[in-house]
């Protein structure tokens, strides 16, 4: 009999004949607290884990959806794609390149970073209904796996259940925002194209080809922002989950206190 079958069989026995001995044996077999299954019903485990996810997702989404929610949080702030960051570093490595950067690229870089974060802040609210659906569908197996899992087990569950849906929900909104004039009447897409064009014009200029710059290949900016926005959101949710696991004062309702006391 596999692990899932054993767990369901034990729960069935508990409901039908209230056999604590059966549940204690399952607890021993699966390295749980010997009293956990006697103290927590299936309903309580699921309710507690759902509550933890609801608290974590609400806190994470609401925080990041505020103006500057991404931009002023260094842990999740969106920066330029790695290829562009590398190009800028390469450009600034010489005196001539630094002059080009200061005169032609510096302001574009700053405006574009603001724009990318604004796009993420506007799109992140799309996560809430997707999270609600994933939380509602949690099973007993999910619940016990999360309860006895790592500090980010609930977040990992949520990410695995929702990531593809979130990409599909986020990307159109992010693309729309990236096409809107946000900074100085220019859209992020325009800023990005201007940045890449300016840099590549410098890279191709024979007069300063001694800089030995590498060209930048344009990327799908909406995909980049979507991916980074989701990474930041799940990072915030994971931090809240860890806080609930580690800090009793973060367990803001009775079911959280009861369930996570049994870790």
Please tell me whether residue 121 adopts helix, strand or coil conformation: helix
Q: Which of the residue ranges 14-28, 40-54, 116-130, 224-238 would you say has the lowest mean pLDDT?
A: 14-28
Give every CB contact of residue 89 below 8 A, 6+ residues apart in sequence.
none
Mean pLDDT is lowest, of 11-20, 164-173, 192-201, for 11-20
pLDDT at position 215: 74
For residues 98 and 202, give the distance between their C-alpha atoms in angstroms, rounded to a whole number.
Answer: 12
User: Looking at beta carbons, which pairs linking 130-139 to residues 24 or more positions away fall under 8 Å?
Assistant: 130/162, 130/165, 130/166, 130/169, 131/53, 131/57, 131/61, 131/158, 131/162, 134/158, 134/161, 134/162, 135/50, 135/53, 135/54, 135/57, 136/50, 137/161, 138/46, 138/49, 138/50, 138/53, 139/46
CA distance 169 to 84: 26
Query: Hey, is 77 helix, strand or coil?
Result: coil
Which phi and psi angles does 99 have, rounded to 5°?
A: -65, -45
What's residue 163's pLDDT? Answer: 95
CA distance 119 to 111: 13
At a CB cut-off of 8 Å and minimum separation 6, what does 23 contact?
10, 13, 14, 37, 38
Q: What predicted TM-score, i.e. pTM, was given to this entire model? A: 0.74
Mean pLDDT of the chain, nearest integer: 78
Place 129 in a pLDDT band, splitting at 50, 70 and 90: very high
The reported pLDDT for the residue numbered 15 is 31
CA angle, residues 124, 130, 133, in degrees to nearest 5: 155
User: Does 12 or 231 have the greater pLDDT score?
Assistant: 231
pLDDT-derived band at 3 (thresholds 50, 70, 90) equals very low
- 218-241 pLDDT tens trace: 678 899 999 999 999 999 999 988
Mean pLDDT of 92-120: 86
More confident residue, 14 or 49: 49
CA distance 119 to 229: 9
DSSP 8-class letter at 215: P
Q: Is the pLDDT of residue 251 over 70?
A: yes
Percent of the chain with pLDDT over 70: 76
User: Mean pLDDT across the stretch 78-97?
Assistant: 85
Q: What is the pLDDT of residue 138?
A: 85
* Res 12: pLDDT: 31
Most confident of 73-77, 182-186, 201-205: 73-77
pLDDT in tens, 206-215: 655 556 667 7
């Amino acid at each position: 009999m596999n692990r899932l079958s054993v767990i369901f069989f034990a729960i069935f026995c508990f409901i039908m004949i209230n056999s604590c001995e059966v549940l204690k044996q399952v607890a021993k077999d699966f390295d749980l607290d010997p009293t956990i299954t006697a103290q927590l019903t299936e309903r309580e485990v699921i309710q507690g884990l759902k509550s933890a996810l609801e608290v974590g997702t609400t806190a994470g989404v609401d925080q990041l959806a505020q103006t500057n929610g991404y931009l002023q949080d260094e842990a999740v702030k969106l920066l330029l794609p790695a290829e562009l960051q590398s190009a800028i570093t390469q450009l600034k490595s010489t005196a001539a390149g630094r002059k080009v950067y200061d005169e032609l690229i510096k302001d574009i870089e700053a405006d574009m970073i603001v724009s990318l974060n604004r796009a993420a802040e506007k799109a992140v609210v799309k996560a809430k209904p997707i999270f609600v659906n994933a939380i509602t569908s949690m099973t007993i197996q999910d619940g016990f796996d999360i309860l006895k899992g790592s500090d980010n087990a609930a977040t990992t569950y949520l990410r695995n259940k929702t990531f593809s849906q979130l990409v599909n929900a986020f990307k159109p909104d992010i693309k729309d925002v990236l096409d809107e004039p946000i900074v100085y009447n220019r859209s992020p897409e325009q800023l990005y194209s201007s940045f890449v064009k300016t840099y590549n014009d410098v890279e191709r200029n024979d007069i300063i080809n001694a800089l030995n710059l590498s060209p930048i290949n344009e990327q799908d900016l909406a995909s980049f922002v979507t991916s980074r926005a989701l990474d930041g959101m799940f990072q915030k949710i994971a931090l809240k989950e860890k806080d609930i696991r580690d800090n009793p004062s973060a367990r803001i309702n009775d079911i959280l206190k009861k369930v996570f006391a049994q870790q």
